[in-house]
Amino acid sequence: DIQMTQSPSSLSASVGDRVTITCRASQGISNYLAWFQQKPGKAPKSLIYAASSLQSGVPSKFSGSGSGTDFTLTITSLQPEDFATYYCQQYGSYPLTFGGGTKVDIK
């Protein structure tokens, strides 16, 4: 199974900050990587697919990069509605697997 390791597991940031979350795959997955945002009590929301493609309707403040084993999600100009938990997910091989999540809260 491919293990997805996210770092950090949590971070504190201020409104207006630029935040970067990393996701490392235990094996190469090309660009078969997605990112999700989840708020408490809600279903996850898709942000990015194919490592760097923005889902329709997602603001351009979210961006993704990487290929192979190392990926990043960057959020620019953090706003109150961006405080949430973020997950990466690989779909390069079975079983599909998720990272453990990164909780972004207010400093």
Partner 1 sequence: EVQLVESGGDLVQPGGSLRLSCAASGFTFSSHWMNWVRQAPGQGLEWVANIKQDGSEKHYVDSVKGRFTISRDNAKSSLYLQMNSLRAEDTAVYYCTRDFSMGCWGQGTLVTVSS
Residues in contact with partner 1 by the rule CB under 8 A:
32, 34, 36, 43-46, 49-50, 55, 87, 89, 91, 94-101
Between 16 and 43, whose beta carbon lies closer to partner 1?
A: 43
Q: How far is CA 99 from CA 16, 25, 56, 79, 85, in A?
A: 26, 9, 23, 23, 11
Minimum Å gap between C-beta 22 and partner 1 is: 16
Question: Are 47 and 35 contacting, i.e. CB atoms less than 8 angstroms apart?
Answer: yes
Minimum Å gap between C-beta 15 and partner 1 is: 26
Q: How far, rounded to the nearest angstrom, does the alpha carbon of residue 5 sit from its chain's CA centroid? A: 11
Minimum Å gap between C-beta 69 and partner 1 is: 18
